[in-house]
Structure 1
Amino acid sequence: MSQALPRIAVFGAGSIGGYLGGRLAPVADVTLIGRAKAMAVVQDDGVSVTGGSRPPRYVPASALRTATGPDAVAGADIVLITVKSADTVTAARDLAPHLDERTVVCSLQNGLHNAELLRAELPEHTVLAGMVPYNVVQTRPGHFHQGSEGALMLDDVPAARPLIATLAEADLAVQPHADMRGVQHAKLLMNLNNALNALSGLPLRTQLEQRSFRACLALCQREALAAFRAEGVEPAKLMPIPPALIPRLLRFPDAVFRRVARRILAIDPHARSSTWEDLQRGRVTEIDMLQGEVVAMATRHSLPAPASARVVELVKRAEKTPPDRRDTWTGPELLADLRAACR
């Protein structure tokens, strides 16, 4: 008698959730829960997932369940939370009445505090912290493309083992990690480029190949690293060089950077940041959980973070401007603006 597939619900099935749901569908009973318009596309056309050094995969509508309400998590073994960080508490409260006692909840969101917020709202449930290292963009409705590489990371605890096994069976690279707090701070350090990429209007690789844009990122990272030290947090080493040295690497001349930072530039030529995608779709961004987090942390310790504060200001201005009227910044323009903010 064959063993039943694990039941996995993806709550907040946007770009990351849709991609992971599509990859997991062959090895799990997957329910995507998201906006009505997005779920209607999946019901009609299924899901296509590409990138990540894996063959493209089409998942027909018949191989996925879809829903728009939190009651669809009833009976799930695992619930993956992929909503925007600002919606975490609301999501937890909506889900709470429908979760089985045995259900494991896993946050796969940007930001530092989502797992602890979920634990506070769902004290009877096991909540895992997770980290998605790669960029995913919805290239058109129902089509999700992974534009960069890396392994998913999850809390190294026994409750995570079934999810880790299922992800591995789906050919998704995954690593348990004992210090997810350090991992999330390291991810924030790299995610500080999300807003800069959105302001540039360029594909990620094109933007990162320009020294002036990298210098903007280095300014924000230096502020973040100072705030991390004040908080007593050591960001995990997720790259060959220590986090503290990344701002120095970013300032190398373009030709040198391309030689020594191949891993950073191992990005699909068409990949964009999630902040860029949010602005293009007219959605509120997660800037408060990116440079905004750095500003909040620095403020707690009476440290300056003027470059990060200026980026927050620019992104919030962009949120209020229609895409066809929104200015994009060249690297030299943005760097001059951030340096002026730092004076």
Structure 2
Amino acid sequence: MRFAVVGAGSVGCYIGARLQVCGHTVVYIGRRPIADAVATHGLEVSDYRGWSATVDRNDCWFTDEMAMAATADAVLVTVKSAATSEVAALLGRGLSRHTSVISLQNGIRNAAELARECHGVAAGTVGFTVARVGPTHFRQASKGRLTIGPAATDVAAALTAAGLPTGTRSEMLPLQWGKLVLHLNNAVNGLSGLTLGDQLAQRDFRRVYAAAVAEALGVLRIAGQPVASPLAIPLAAVPRILRAPDSLFAHAAKQFVPLDPTACSSMADDLAADKPTEVDYLNGEIVAMAARLGNTAPVNAALVKLIHDTERTRRRPWSGEALLAAVGATAQ
């Protein structure tokens, strides 16, 4: 198959390279700095199990021209959520009605945004973490699988054959909400300035995360929104596990901590690179839903504010104790 990866950052480059190593044709559409690095070094991909591969620089078709997606049988969209509307408009001008468009993005709005301009859109979730460990080296840092809507079974088969187990699901929204709930920690991790492993090893940070999750589940329950857990445990059990003493949490840590302990959240990476974050599409979604219900979500609202403050002032890092106090008594 011919694939276009739109928004070729860490996740996009990793998935695209896996497909290319398996024999598919891939065009990477992304920002010029990554394109220049790939033109010099090629692509290197690896995973937590020890698998690795390289794609020679001469075999990497990397561009910033969105029109090149028109040659693809399937387009994998991995841009940040704030860019989805612009990308949708650009894609909608050139894609065939027969081209599959798969959103592999954080948040819950992106597939619907793409569908306003494009045909054949399917929502998807990425159930693993990808760390950028070199200029063009991308490593899958945790277990997990891809899940996409049922309209893209050929894409799911290609991804699975490329070593990325991919399932299809008739109703994606509950799983997207479940992933969003788990990703409420992205803000906590970004504010901590630590790796995910070090951040989650500290109980005060986990208590903030637990409060954000509990608050979110409460809002979703009031809204009547079904939520599917991406984990092997119910999401309702997550706050209790997170609040456990360090010694007890350590036994359950593999549910939350990537197998590569040096990995950070994408929000932490964005803050470190002085880029806008996706906090409005994660914690902010809970705040917005609560407002629509005539309620508030003070823990998640506090995290949204602190992230935006950090984007402006570059203040970092927070200690667990200070962050717990900053989000208010709800998290205690």
Is the pair's TM-score, using the shorter chain for normalization, greater than 0.5? yes
Corresponding residue of 1:299: 291
Whether 2:252 is the aligned partner of 1:260: answer yes
Amino acid at match of 1:75: T
Corresponding residue of 1:24: 19
Residues 108, 131 of structure 1: 8 Å contact kept = yes
Of 121, 132, 148, the residue aligned with 1:138 is 132
Whether 2:19 is the aligned partner of 1:12: answer no
Residues 97, 120 of structure 2: 8 Å contact kept = no
Query: Which blocks of at least 5 consecutive residues in structure 2 are unaligned?
Result: none
Residue 89 of structure 1: how far off its partner (Å) = 0.9
Q: TM-score, normalised to structure 1's length?
A: 0.93
Summarize deviations over 1:249-292 as a string: whole Å, max 9, x none: 11111111111343323431110000010011110000101111
Amino acid at match of 1:126: G
Amino acid at match of 2:293: H
Whether 2:294 is the aligned partner of 1:315: answer no
**Aligned partners of 1:316 and 1:137: how far apart in 2?**
23
Residue 339 of structure 1: how far off its partner (Å) = 2.3
- Secondary structure of the corresponding residue to residue 217 of structure 2: helix
Q: Which moves more between the two structures, 168-177 or 260-269?
A: 260-269
Whether 2:266 is the aligned partner of 1:274: answer yes
Residue 341 of structure 1: how far off its partner (Å) = 7.2
Amino acid at match of 2:285: E
Of 162, 170, 174, the residue aligned with 1:178 is 170
**Aligned partners of 2:282 and 2:227: how far apart in 1?**
15
- Secondary structure of the corresponding residue to residue 171 of structure 1: coil
Whether 2:112 is the aligned partner of 1:116: answer yes
Amino acid at match of 1:53: R
Amino acid at match of 2:207: A
**Aligned partners of 1:96 and 1:266: how far apart in 2?**
36
Query: CA separation of 1:317/1:208 partners in 2, compared to 1, >3 Å: closer, same or farther?
Result: same
Corresponding residue of 1:148: 142
Corresponding residue of 1:92: 88
Residue 308 of structure 1: how far off its partner (Å) = 0.7
Corresponding residue of 2:64: 68
Give the fraction of aligned pairs with identical amino acids, expressed as a percent: 40
Summarize deviations over 1:18-41 as a string: whole Å, max 9, x none: 111111112210000011221121
**Aligned partners of 2:276 and 2:252: how far apart in 1?**
35
Corresponding residue of 1:336: 325
Residues 25, 63 of structure 1: 8 Å contact kept = no
Amino acid at match of 1:130: G
Q: Number of residues paired by the alignment?
A: 331
Of 192, 195, 213, the residue aligned with 2:187 is 195
Residues 310, 341 of structure 1: 8 Å contact kept = no
- Secondary structure of the corresponding residue to residue 265 of structure 1: coil
- Secondary structure of the corresponding residue to residue 121 of structure 1: coil
Runs (4+) off by over 4 Å: 340-343
**Aligned partners of 2:313 and 2:127: how far apart in 1?**
29
Q: C-alpha root-mean-square deviation of aligned residues, in Å?
A: 1.5
Q: TM-score, normalised to structure 2's length?
A: 0.96
**Aligned partners of 1:151 and 1:267: how far apart in 2?**
14
Query: CA separation of 1:208/1:230 partners in 2, compared to 1, >3 Å: closer, same or farther?
Result: same
**Aligned partners of 2:258 and 2:285: how far apart in 1?**
27
- Secondary structure of the corresponding residue to residue 139 of structure 1: strand
Summarize deviations over 1:56-92 as a string: whole Å, max 9, x none: 2111122221111111011210000011101111101
Corresponding residue of 1:53: 49
**Aligned partners of 1:53 and 1:47: how far apart in 2?**
19
